[in-house]
């Protein structure tokens, strides 16, 4: 068969699939709506500062190693383990909690608020560890041909984990820990899934095992965009052509197959196989006009929180900040219960702050820091109007300044604010949802939009809204599953 593949989207999912397919002899061409590669794994260069636009760290570093090994290449960037993993600041509390992987050290951190931390953590993490290893190969890293296949897959997971599908992460934490601070900190991983711990099933406590005992978190030397840059370079060396500022807006069907795609300027793009790295749910609705993915049906699905992001280049060093920081208030439950569905900007927002210049000094001019602030907010189904973006950014920056005892507004050299509208318009993120479809039990495994198309045998999907889910390592796993699908298909034609 002919082996020309068009990949729509140059996010990590698209790039990783392109690497795997070129390794297997396919000829690949890539188009993207955005002006440069990376999708959410992107960067902003402004006034001498470099900011990671989205992701700032990742777990499961071995998935990156596996990808490059599979392609016969040395890993083309250097990664650094984080230790401490992050710092958590509660309002009204002077010093942050530093979250170390070493549980004895962590017990020392928590000794005032949770005196028996080590014993409680050992029990909690032992259970989380079992969930991780009992589901890793049976569910997360495998594909399902149907919902039935998925349900059969679930029966291979030991039954003792079943309650974890029906109770929340917050409830489970309450069974193990008494201190509010420990429960809140352990439940932050739910936000990595784009949800709150009150909605996230307890089985995702496996993420606490991943951060504290398994592989931890990693940074990239020189900044996260080195991942994108190095992958693009490798692909160009393999003859892959990239076309940016090219949005696919229409599908052309012939004989039950996808025949070509049309971009916003009316240009046609032909290939034997198509891999869609744009959102696997909304692409089906918008481009393939599938009823199951109509706007009304998409709006009824569960989507992850939207990002409100601020990129601040400041004059002067901020020694009070660590590289990865969370700034939280004292009304966690109330805040988490309202942020999802409010039509208002959050009052006293909770937010994450990353300062990559701490370990990558070249990402800011000498004596300066690059500060990235991420505040999870409702998606555009709930809050459509973001004309209040600048006052909200001011409010967050002022709150951060007060907590750090400095004046970031006065120190600011450059400032960029992205609202959910920007994220939607720039990268086609549905309703501005930051991480794609949510990960409740009704939207994972065989219940998630599949990585092969229901009607066109020559169309496949890769990325955050297909299997297994969102986050950089999951998207790398997704590229592996999609490549396997393509190879299986190629054997039949
Ligand atoms: C603010 C933020 C912070 C995050 N932080 C982390 C983190 O710290 N660690 C982590 O592991 N994960 C993080 N994530 C999640 C992670 O970024 C994503 O899960 C991952 O990058 C998704 O990759 P992808 O390839 O699926 O999609 P994307 O990166 O979204 O790429 C899809 C590409 O397709 C293009 N496209 C879409 N539709 C079309 C079309 N019709 N025509 C042409 N092109 C199209 C888009 O322009 C885009 O470039 C974060 C996400 C956000 C938004």
DSSP characters for 237-301?
HTT-EEE-S--EEEEEEETTEEEEEEETTS-EEE-SEEEE-S-TTHHHHHTT--GGGSHHHHHHS
Contacts of range 101-104, beta carbons closer than 8 Å, 24 or more positions apart: 101/211, 101/212, 101/213, 101/216, 103/212, 103/213
389 lines ligand 1 (CB under 6 A): no
Q: What beta strand segments (E) does 349-487 contain?
A: 351-354, 368-377, 412-418, 459-461
44 lines ligand 1 (CB under 6 A): no
Give residue-wise pLDDT tens across range 357-395.
999 999 999 999 999 999 999 999 999 999 999 999 999
**Sign of the dihedral defined by the CA atoms of residues 314, 318, 324, 328, in that order:** negative
Q: Are 425 and 181 in contact (CB under 8 A)?
A: no
- Rounded to whole angstroms, the Cα distance separating 243 from 248 reads 11
Mean of the per-residue pLDDT values of the chain: 95
Global pTM exceeds 0.85: yes
17 lines ligand 1 (CB under 6 A): no
**Where residue 195 falls among pLDDT bands split at 50, 70, 90?**
confident
d(CA 344, ligand 1 centre) in Å: 25
Q: What angle do CA 426, 432, 435 make, to 5 degrees?
A: 100
- Rounded to whole angstroms, the Cα distance separating 120 from 111 reads 12
Q: Which two tokens stand for residue 70?
A: 């599979």
Q: Looking at residues 1-23, what average pLDDT do you find?
A: 94
DSSP sequence for 161-218: GTHHHHSBHHHHHHHH---HHHHHHHTTHHHHTTS-TTTSBGGGGHHHHIIIIIS--E
Q: Position of tokens 């993120």?
A: 429
Contacts of 380 (CB under 8 A, 6+ apart): 306, 420, 421, 424, 431, 432
Q: What angle do CA 17, 21, 24 make, to 5 degrees?
A: 150
Verify cis geometry, omega within 30 degrees of 0, for the bond prior to 94: no
Atom of ligand 1 nearest to the CA of 427: 47
Cα 255 to chain centroid distance, Å, stands at: 37
349 lines ligand 1 (CB under 6 A): no
**Where residue 193 falls among pLDDT bands split at 50, 70, 90?**
confident
307 lines ligand 1 (CB under 6 A): yes
Q: Are 244 and 36 in contact (CB under 8 A)?
A: yes
Q: Which is more confidently placed, 334 or 296?
A: 296
**Where residue 2 falls among pLDDT bands split at 50, 70, 90?**
low
Report the SS3 class of residue 309.
Answer: strand
Q: Which two tokens stand for residue 112?
A: 């005032």
d(CA 181, ligand 1 centre) in Å: 31
Helix-, strand-, coil-residue percentages of the chain, each rounded to 5: 40, 20, 40
8 lines ligand 1 (CB under 6 A): yes
pLDDT at residue 113 in the model: 96
Please name the helix (run of DSSP H) or strand (run of DSSP E) that holds residue 118, with its range, or none: helix 117-135
434 lines ligand 1 (CB under 6 A): yes
pLDDT at residue 344 in the model: 80
pLDDT > 70: percent of the chain: 100
pLDDT at residue 316 in the model: 97
Domains and CATH numbers, the chain: 4-45+55-79+220-300+436-492 (3.50.50.60), 102-215 (no CATH)
463 lines ligand 1 (CB under 6 A): yes
d(CA 479, ligand 1 centre) in Å: 14
Protein residue with its CA nearest to atom 38 in ligand 1: 278
Q: Looking at residues 64-86, what average pLDDT do you find?
A: 97
CA distance between the termini of the chain: 7
309 lines ligand 1 (CB under 6 A): yes
Q: Are 349 and 330 in contact (CB under 8 A)?
A: no
Task: Give the CA distances from residue 373 to residues 188, 251, 330, 437, in Å, rounded to whole numbers and listed in that order.
Answer: 16, 38, 19, 23
Q: Are 214 and 130 in contact (CB under 8 A)?
A: no
């Amino acid at each position: 068969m002919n082996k020309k593949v068009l990949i729509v989207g140059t996010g990590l999912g698209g790039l990783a699939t392109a690497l795997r397919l070129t390794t297997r002899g396919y000829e690949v061409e890539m188009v993207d709506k955005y002006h440069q590669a990376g999708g959410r794994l992107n960067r902003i260069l402004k006034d001498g500062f470099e900011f990671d636009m989205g992701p700032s760290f990742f777990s499961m570093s071995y998935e990156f190693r596996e990808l490059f090994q599979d392609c016969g290449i040395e890993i083309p960037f250097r990664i650094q383990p984080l230790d401490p993993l992050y710092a958590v600041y509660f309002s009204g509390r002077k010093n942050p909690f530093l979250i170390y992987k070493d549980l004895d050290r962590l017990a020392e951190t928590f000794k005032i608020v949770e005196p028996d931390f080590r014993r409680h953590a050992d029990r909690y993490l032992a259970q989380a560890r079992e969930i991780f290893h009992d589901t890793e190969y049976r569910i997360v890293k495998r594909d399902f041909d149907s919902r039935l296949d998925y349900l059969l897959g679930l029966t291979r997971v030991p039954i003792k984990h079943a309650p974890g599908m029906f109770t929340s992460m917050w409830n489970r934490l309450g069974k193990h820990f008494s201190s509010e601070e420990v429960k809140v900190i352990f439940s932050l991983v739910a936000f990595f899934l784009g949800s709150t711990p009150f909605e996230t099933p307890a089985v995702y406590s496996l993420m606490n095992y991943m951060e504290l005992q398994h592989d931890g978190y990693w940074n990239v030397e020189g900044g996260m965009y080195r991942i994108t840059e190095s992958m693009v370079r490798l692909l160009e060396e393999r003859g892959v052509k990239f076309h940016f500022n090219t949005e696919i807006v229409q599908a052309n069907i012939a004989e039950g197959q996808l025949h070509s795609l049309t971009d916003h300027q009316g240009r046609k793009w032909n290939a034997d196989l198509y891999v869609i790295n744009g959102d696997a749910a909304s692409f089906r609705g918008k481009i393939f006009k599938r009823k199951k993915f109509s706007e009304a049906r998409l709006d009824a699905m569960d989507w992850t929180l939207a990002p409100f992001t601020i990129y601040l280049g400041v004059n002067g060093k901020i020694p009070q900040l660590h590289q990865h920081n969370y700034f939280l208030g004292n009304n966690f439950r109330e805040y988490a219960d309202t942020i999802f569905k409010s039509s208002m900007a959050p009052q006293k927002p909770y937010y994450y702050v990353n300062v990559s210049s701490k370990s990558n000094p070249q990402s800011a001019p000498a004596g300066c820091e690059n500060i990235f602030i991420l505040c999870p907010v409702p998606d555009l189904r709930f809050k459509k109007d973001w004309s209040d973006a600048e006052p909200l950014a001011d409010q967050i920056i002022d709150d951060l300044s007060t907590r750090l005892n400095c004046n970031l507004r006065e120190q600011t050299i450059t400032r960029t604010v992205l609202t959910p509208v920007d994220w939607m318009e720039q990268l086609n993120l549905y309703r501005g949802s930051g991480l794609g479809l949510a990960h409740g039990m009704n939207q994972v495994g065989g219940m998630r939009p599949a990585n092969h198309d229901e009607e066109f045998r020559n169309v496949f999907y890769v990325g955050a809204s297909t299997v297994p889910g969102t986050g950089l390592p999951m998207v790398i796993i997704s590229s592996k599953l999609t490549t396997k699908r393509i190879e299986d298909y190629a054997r039949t034609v």
